Structure 1
Amino acid sequence: MVQILRDISLFLQMKGENPFRSRAYDIAADRISGLSEDLGTLLREDRLKELPGIGQAISDKVAELMSTGRLSAYETLRAELPAGVLELVRVPELGPKKAVLLARELGVDSVDALEKACREGRVRHVAGFGEKSEANLLAGIELYRRSTTPRRLLGDVMPVAERLLTSVKNTPGVVRASVGGSLRRRAETVGDVDLIASAAEPGAVFDAFCRAPEVAHVIGRGESKCSVRLHDKDLQVDLRVLPDEDFATALHHFTGSRAHHLRLRGLAQDRGLKISEWGVHRADGTKLPVPDEAALYRLLDMQYIPPELREDTGEIEAALAGKLPEDLVAWEDIQGAVHAHSTWSDGRNSLEEMARAAQALGLKFLTVTEHSEAAIYAGGLKEDDLRRQWDEIDRVNDTVKGLRLLKGIEVDILESGALDYSDSVLEQLEVVIGSIHVRHGMDEDQMTRRLLQAFDNPHLHILGHPTGRLIQSRDPYPLRMEAVLDKAAERGVVVEVNGKPERLDLKTEHVRMATQRGVKLVVSCDAHRASDLENLAFAVATARRGWARRSDVLNTLPAERFISALREQRAG
Structure 2
Amino acid sequence: MNPNTLDKAAVAKILRELSLLLQLKGENAFKVRAYDTAADRILGMTQDLGALVREGRLQELPGIGQGLAEKISELVSTGKLGFHEELKAEFPPGLLEMLQLPDMGPKKAMALWRELQVGSVADLERACREGRVRALKGFGAKSEAKILEGIALHQRAQGKRKLLGDVLPTVEGLLELLRAAPGVVRVSPAGSVRRRAETVGDVDLLASAPQAGPVLDVLANAPGVAVLIGKGESKCSVRMTEADLQVDLRVLPDEDFATALHHFTGSKAHHVRLRGMGQDKGLKISEWGVHQEDGTKLPIRDEADIYRLLGMQYVPPELREDSGEIEAALEGRLPEDLVSLEDVLGVVHCHSTWSDGKNSLEEMARAAQALGLKYLTVTEHSQAAVYAGGLKEDDLKRQWDEIDRVNAAVPGLRLLKGIEVDILESGALDYRDSVLERCELVIGSVHIRHSMNEEQMTQRLLNAMDNPHLNIIGHPTGRLIHEREPYPVRMEAVLDKAAARGVVMEVNGKPARLDLKAEHVRQAVQRGVKLVVSADAHRREDLNHLVFAVATARRGWARKGEVLNTLPADRFISTLKGLRC
TM-score class normalised by the smaller sequence: 0.7 to 0.9
In the alignment, structure 1 residue 427 sits paired with structure 2 residue 437? yes
Q: Match for residue 374 of structure 1?
A: 384
In the alignment, structure 1 residue 521 sits paired with structure 2 residue 531? yes
1:451-495 deviation per Cα after TM superposition (whole angstroms, max 9, x unaligned): 000000000000000000000110000000000000000000000
Corresponding residue SS for 1:285: coil
Corresponding residue SS for 1:173: coil
| Aligned AA (1:311) | E
Alpha carbons 2:216, 2:234 under 8 Å: kept: no
Q: Match for residue 360 of structure 1?
A: 370
Alpha carbons 2:162, 2:200 under 8 Å: kept: yes
Q: Match for residue 164 of structure 1?
A: 174
Of 233, 243, 247, which residue of structure 2 is paired with 1:237? 247
Corresponding residue SS for 2:167: helix
Of 132, 152, 162, which residue of structure 2 is paired with 1:152? 162
CA distance in 1, matches of 2:386, 2:254: 57
CA distance in 2, matches of 1:148, 1:292: 37
Of 308, 317, 320, which residue of structure 2 is paired with 1:298? 308
CA distance in 1, matches of 2:487, 2:557: 24
Corresponding residue SS for 1:195: strand
In the alignment, structure 1 residue 193 sits paired with structure 2 residue 203? yes
1:32-80 deviation per Cα after TM superposition (whole angstroms, max 9, x unaligned): xxxxxxxxxxxxxxxxxxxxxxxxxxxxxxxxxxxxxxxxxxxxxxxxx
CA distance in 1, matches of 2:285, 2:224: 34
Corresponding residue SS for 2:580: helix
Corresponding residue SS for 1:370: coil
Q: Match for residue 509 of structure 2?
A: 499
| Aligned AA (2:372) | G
Q: 1:387 Cα shift?
A: 1.1
Q: Match for residue 311 of structure 1?
A: 321
Inter-CA distance 352–197: structure 2 relative to 1 (3 Å threshold)? same
Q: 1:409 Cα shift?
A: 0.3
CA distance in 1, matches of 2:433, 2:159: 49
| Aligned AA (2:223) | P
Of 206, 213, 230, which residue of structure 2 is paired with 1:203? 213
Inter-CA distance 570–156: structure 2 relative to 1 (3 Å threshold)? same
Aligned positions of 1:63-462 closer than 5 A: 149-462=159-472
Q: Match for residue 555 of structure 1?
A: 565
Q: 1:367 Cα shift?
A: 0.1
Q: 1:224 Cα shift?
A: 1.5
CA distance in 2, matches of 1:545, 1:560: 28
Q: 1:223 Cα shift?
A: 1.9
1:491-536 deviation per Cα after TM superposition (whole angstroms, max 9, x unaligned): 0000000000000000010000000000000000000000000000
CA distance in 2, matches of 1:150, 1:292: 32
**Matched length:** 425
Q: 1:322 Cα shift?
A: 0.7
Q: 1:317 Cα shift?
A: 0.3
CA distance in 1, matches of 2:325, 2:529: 21
Aligned positions of 1:22-61 closer than 5 A: none
Q: 1:263 Cα shift?
A: 0.3
1:378-409 deviation per Cα after TM superposition (whole angstroms, max 9, x unaligned): 00000111110000000000000000000000
| Aligned AA (2:421) | V
CA distance in 1, matches of 2:369, 2:462: 36
CA distance in 2, matches of 1:449, 1:556: 31
CA distance in 2, matches of 1:470, 1:439: 15
| Aligned AA (1:204) | P
CA distance in 2, matches of 1:347, 1:386: 16
1:391-448 deviation per Cα after TM superposition (whole angstroms, max 9, x unaligned): 0000000000000000000000000100000000000000100000000010000000
CA distance in 2, matches of 1:488, 1:368: 23
1:236-274 deviation per Cα after TM superposition (whole angstroms, max 9, x unaligned): 000000000001111111100000011000000000001
Of 491, 495, 498, which residue of structure 2 is paired with 1:481? 491
Corresponding residue SS for 1:174: coil
Of 469, 478, 489, which residue of structure 2 is paired with 1:468? 478
| Aligned AA (2:365) | A
Q: Match for residue 61 of structure 1?
A: none
Q: 1:313 Cα shift?
A: 0.1
CA distance in 2, matches of 1:522, 1:166: 31
Corresponding residue SS for 2:536: strand
| Aligned AA (1:501) | P
Q: Percent identity?
A: 75
TM-score (norm 1): 0.74
Inter-CA distance 238–414: structure 2 relative to 1 (3 Å threshold)? same
Q: 1:149 Cα shift?
A: 2.1
CA distance in 2, matches of 1:232, 1:540: 25
CA distance in 2, matches of 1:192, 1:564: 45
CA distance in 2, matches of 1:174, 1:209: 13
Q: Match for residue 577 of structure 2?
A: 567
CA distance in 1, matches of 2:320, 2:541: 30
Corresponding residue SS for 2:550: helix
Q: 1:148 Cα shift?
A: 8.8
Q: Match for residue 544 of structure 1?
A: 554
| Aligned AA (1:193) | V
| Aligned AA (1:468) | G
CA RMSD of aligned residues (A): 0.9
CA distance in 2, matches of 1:458, 1:481: 20
| Aligned AA (2:329) | A
